[in-house]
Amino acid sequence: MNEIVKVGMADLKVISGHGILTTLGLGSCVGIALYDRTTKVAGLAHIMLPSSKLIKNNQNKAKFADTAVEQLLRIMTSMNAQIKYITAKIAGGAQMFSFRDKTNDLLNIGERNVRATIEALKQHNIPIIAQDTGGNYGRTIELHAETGLLVVRTIGHGTKTL
């Protein structure tokens, strides 16, 4: 039996051993999937914004790339994962609408989220072993705790297993 755990927008979850973590309809947001293959501890975050700094309302750690990575690692290590074995796969960061107004704040928010995620992972020395980001389409992702495989589904752009 593969139990499916849903991760909402600005949300994160950690499971261990078996089961699937999934987050539906990632647009400009980024899904950060962390996995320790030795203990089969798997964590998934669905972040919306690059950084918790400069933002007053930053209590929700799962909303920002920097704090979500920290929080995932904290929970995962408390469940016996070891930082040195944890690897990352990331997906999302699309630009859903092609804004013609180049001064738009939302321009490149997806790209900024991806960059901030890479930066945050680098700070904790977590290697990124696979990445499916960018483009102009949404993604639904599934992280399998048994194998660490990340399945990325799209509409019209195929399904990938990372």
Partner 1 sequence: MEFSFDDLSNLHLDVLKEIGTIGAGNAATSLSKMLNRRIDMNVPEIKISEFSNIESILASADSLVTGVYLQFKGEIKGNALFILDVASAKNLISLLLDAKEEDDISEAEYAKFSELEISALEEVGNILISSYLKAISSLTGLSIKPSVPYFACDMLGAILSVPLIQYGETSDRALFIETEFIIGLDKVKSHFIVMPDIKSYTIILKSLGVV
* Footprint on this chain of partner 1 (rule: CB under 8 A): 8-11, 24-29, 48-49, 55-57, 59-60, 62-63, 94, 96-101, 104-106, 109, 136-140, 153, 155-156
Output 110 or 148, the one with its CB closest to partner 1: 110
Question: Residue for token digits 């991760």?
Answer: 7
Q: How far is the CB of 125 from partner 1 (least distance, A)?
A: 28
Output 124 or 153, the one with its CB closest to partner 1: 153
Q: How far is the CB of 38 from partner 1 (least distance, A)?
A: 30
Report residue 119 CA to chain centroid gap: 13
Angstrom distance (rounded) from CA 106 to CA 92: 15
Output 33 or 126, the one with its CB closest to partner 1: 33
DSSP 3-state of 116: helix
The neighbour count for residue 137, using CB atoms within 10 Å, is: 14
Is 96 a known active-site residue?
A: no
Catalytic residue of the set 7, 26, 29, 69: 29
Beta bridge partners of 92: 30, 133
The neighbour count for residue 94, using CB atoms within 10 Å, is: 24
Q: Give catalytic residues, as residue numbers.
A: 29
